[in-house]
C-alpha cells in the first residue's frame, strides 16, 4: 500500500473552473426525494458540475468513453468560472446537478443535507485514510475523493542553473539570495496570478496558518476570538514572500495577472518561478512539453526544518440527494474507480487517492517532487479548508490592495481581521 497522502487535481467528469480550489459557501435545504427514475425510453442523463479547467479535454474524453460503454446514458457536464454562484442558482431553480464537485470540510458540511451517503459504496474501503475527514459529517461519508494536491514554488531548473543557484532555497534568507542571483542574471523571478483570488487569498495566505505548530488549534482559538491573525507566528514571513513576488516580479502590475497569464509567462520562459501546484503540469506542458521544471516548498522563516509543503485532499464528487438518477450516478463513480488507473493516473497524471491504484514515473516532475516531501514527512495541512466558507475570496481583496500599494501592511492585517470577524460569527 502506498503511503502517499495525495493525488493531483482529479476533476473527473467533463468540466472545470480556473479557480483551482476556491472556497465557497452553499445553501442547505430540507431533505427531498431520493427516488431514481429514468426517462420513459430507458435512457438517462447524468448532469455534472465541475470547476477544474486544467484537464478539461481529458475529462471530456473520459466522459465520452463512459457514454460509449453505456449507450443508455448521456452525460451533460458544465464548465464554469462562476461555479459557486451558478451552483446555488441551479439548486434554487430546481435544476441541481446529479453529481457536483465539493470541497473538503466546508462544502461537504454546508451541503451535507443535500448529499447522498456514500459510506457503503464498493470503492470506499479503498480510499486513502487522509481523504476521509474532509468528506465525513456525523459519521457519514459524502464524497468520492478527487484531488489530493500539493503546491509550492514551481521553478525552471535551467534558469536556476543559469543564475548559479545550485541549492534549492529552504529558508527565507536563501529565497532572497536566489532572487538576487536571478536578478543579477537578468531573469525575472515571478509573474504571479494575483487577480485570481485563490492564488493569493487562499493558497499563499494559507501558509502562515499552516505553519502554526498546532494549526487546527490556532484556528479554533480564532473562531472563539481568543487569537487574531496578527498572532500568527510566521505572518511577517508571509509578507516577506509576498513582497519578493512583487519586487522580483512585475511589481504592482501583478494585480492584473490571472492564473492563465501566470502559467503562460512561466511556461514560455519569461519567469523563473510561480506559486502553483501539481495541477498546473498539464497547462505547462501544453505550452512547453519539454520544460525542465521542479517544485519546492515555500519557506516563511530561517529554520529549514519548518519548511514543508502544504498538501491535502481538496475536492470530491458528491451526489445530489434529490437526483432522479442516484443509482446511475453511483454506477458512474464505481466505473471511475474501476478505471482509475487509465483515467486518474495514466491520463490525468495524478497521484491517486485510492490504495489500489498505483503511482507511476509518468506522473511528471511536479508529482515526483511532491512525493519526496510526502516520503520525508515534510508536509503541512491545507488550513484554508478549516476557514469559514467563502472567506478566501474576501481575503483576496485587502491582499490585492496591498499588492497594488493601496494598503500598507498594518492596514492589510486589520482588514483581514475584520473579514474574519464577520465571517466567523
Q: Which residues make Cβ contacts (< 8 Å) with residue 377, sequence separation at least 6?
A: none
Measured between alpha carbons, how far is residue 416 from residues 37, 79, 100, 342 in Å?
A: 48, 31, 30, 43
Closest by CA to 86, choosing from 73, 66, 75, 100, is 100
Angle between helix 391-403 and helix 409-423 axes, rounded to 10 deg: 170
pLDDT in tens, 181-233: 999 999 999 999 999 999 999 999 999 999 999 999 999 999 999 999 999 99
- Residue 18, pLDDT > 60, answer no
Residue 189 — φ and ψ, nearest 5°? -75, -45
pLDDT in tens, 98-133: 999 998 888 898 999 999 999 999 999 999 877 888
How, if at all, do strands 309-319 and 144-156 pair?
A: antiparallel
Distance, C-alpha 178 to centroid of its chain: 27
| Predicted pLDDT at 182 | 98
The DSSP string of 57-102 is HHHHHHHHHHHHH-TTEEEEEEE-S-HHHHHHHHHHTT---SEEEE
| Residue whose entry in the numeric block shows the C-alpha cell 461555479 | 83
- Residue 264, pLDDT > 50, answer yes
What percent of the chain clears pLDDT 70, i.e. is strictly above it?
89
3-state DSSP assignment of residue 378: coil
Closest by CA to 6, choosing from 369, 305, 397, is 369
pLDDT band of residue 15 (cuts 50, 70, 90) is very low
- Residue 11, pLDDT > 70, answer no
- Its pTM surpasses 0.85: no
| Residue whose entry in the numeric block shows the C-alpha cell 490525468 | 348
Structural domains for the chain? 150-310+381-423 (3.40.190.10)
Closest by CA to 355, choosing from 155, 108, 148, is 148
| Predicted pLDDT at 31 | 36
Tell me if 419 sits within 8 A of 395, measured CB to CB: yes
**Average pLDDT for 358-374:** 84
Q: CB-based burial of residue 143 (10 Å sphere; 0-12 exposed, 13-18 middle, 19+ buried)? A: buried
Tell me if 393 sits within 8 A of 23, measured CB to CB: yes
pLDDT in tens, 390-413: 899 999 999 999 999 999 999 999
Tell me if 295 sits within 8 A of 364, measured CB to CB: no
Choice among 50-59, 130-139, 168-177, 236-245 with the minimum mean pLDDT? 50-59
The three cell numbers of residue 248 are 522580483
Separation of first and last alpha carbons in the chain: 42
| Predicted pLDDT at 39 | 52
CA atoms within 13 A on the CB side of 181: 18
- List Cβ<8 Å contacts ≥24 apart for 38-41: 38/72, 38/324, 38/325, 38/328
Angle between helix 235-247 and helix 391-403 axes, rounded to 10 deg: 60
**Average pLDDT for 13-28:** 35
What is the rounded average pLDDT for all residues in the chain?
88
Amino acid at each position: 500500500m502506498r503511503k502517499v497522502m495525495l493525488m493531483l487535481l482529479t476533476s473527473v467528469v467533463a468540466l472545470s473552473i480556473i479557480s483551482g480550489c476556491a472556497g465557497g459557501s452553499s445553501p442547505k435545504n430540507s431533505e427531498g426525494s431520493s427516488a431514481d427514475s429514468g426517462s420513459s425510453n430507458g435512457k438517462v442523463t447524468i448532469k455534472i458540475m465541475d470547476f477544474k479547467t486544467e484537464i478539461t479535454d481529458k475529462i471530456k474524453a473520459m466522459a465520452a468513453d463512459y457514454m460509449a460503454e453505456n449507450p443508455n446514458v448521456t452525460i451533460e457536464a458544465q464548465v464554469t468560472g462562476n461555479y459557486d454562484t451558478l451552483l446555488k442558482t441551479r439548486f434554487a431553480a430546481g435544476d441541481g446537478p446529479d453529481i457536483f464537485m465539493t470541497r473538503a470540510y466546508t462544502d461537504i458540511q454546508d451541503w451535507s443535507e443535500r448529499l447522498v451517503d456514500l459510506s457503503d459504496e464498493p470503492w470506499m474501503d479503498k480510499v486513502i485514510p487522509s481523504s476521509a475527514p474532509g468528506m465525513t459529517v456525523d459519521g457519514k461519508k459524502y464524497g468520492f475523493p478527487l484531488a489530493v494536491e500539493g503546491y509550492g514554488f514551481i521553478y525552471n531548473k535551467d534558469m536556476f542553473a543559469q543564475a548559479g543557484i545550485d541549492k534549492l532555497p529552504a529558508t527565507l534568507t536563501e529565497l532572497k539570495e536566489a532572487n538576487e542571483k536571478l536578478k543579477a542574471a537578468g531573469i525575472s523571478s515571478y509573474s504571479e496570478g494575483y487577480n485570481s483570488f485563490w492564488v493569493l487569498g487562499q493558497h499563499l495566505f494559507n501558509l502562515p496558518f499552516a505553519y502554526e505548530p498546532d494549526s487546527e488549534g490556532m484556528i479554533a482559538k480564532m473562531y472563539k476570538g481568543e487569537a487574531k491573525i496578527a498572532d500568527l507566528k510566521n505572518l511577517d514571513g508571509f509578507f516577506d514572500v509576498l513582497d519578493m513576488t512583487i519586487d522580483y516580479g512585475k511589481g504592482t502590475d501583478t494585480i492584473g495577472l490571472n492564473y492563465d497569464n501566470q502559467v503562460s509567462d512561466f511556461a514560455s520562459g519569461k519567469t523563473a518561478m510561480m506559486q502553483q501546484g501539481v495541477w498546473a503540469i498539464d497547462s505547462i506542458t501544453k505550452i512547453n512539453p519539454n520544460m525542465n521544471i521542479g517544485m519546492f516548498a515555500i519557506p516563511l522563516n530561517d529554520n529549514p526544518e519548518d519548511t514543508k509543503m502544504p498538501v491535502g485532499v481538496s475536492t470530491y464528487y458528491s451526489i445530489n440527494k434529490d437526483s432522479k438518477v442516484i443509482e446511475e450516478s453511483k454506477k458512474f463513480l464505481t466505473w471511475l474507480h474501476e478505471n482509475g488507473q487509465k483515467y486518474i493516473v495514466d491520463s490525468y497524471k495524478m497521484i491517486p487517492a485510492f490504495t489500489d491504484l498505483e503511482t507511476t514515473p509518468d506522473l511528471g516532475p511536479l508529482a515526483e517532487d511532491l512525493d519526496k516531501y510526502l516520503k520525508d514527512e515534510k508536509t503541512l495541512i491545507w488550513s484554508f479548508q478549516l476557514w469559514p466558507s467563502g472567506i478566501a475570496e474576501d481575503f483576496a481583496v485587502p491582499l490585492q490592495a496591498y499588492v497594488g500599494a493601496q494598503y500598507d501592511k498594518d492596514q492589510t492585517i486589520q482588514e483581514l481581521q475584520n473579514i474574519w470577524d464577520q465571517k466567523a460569527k
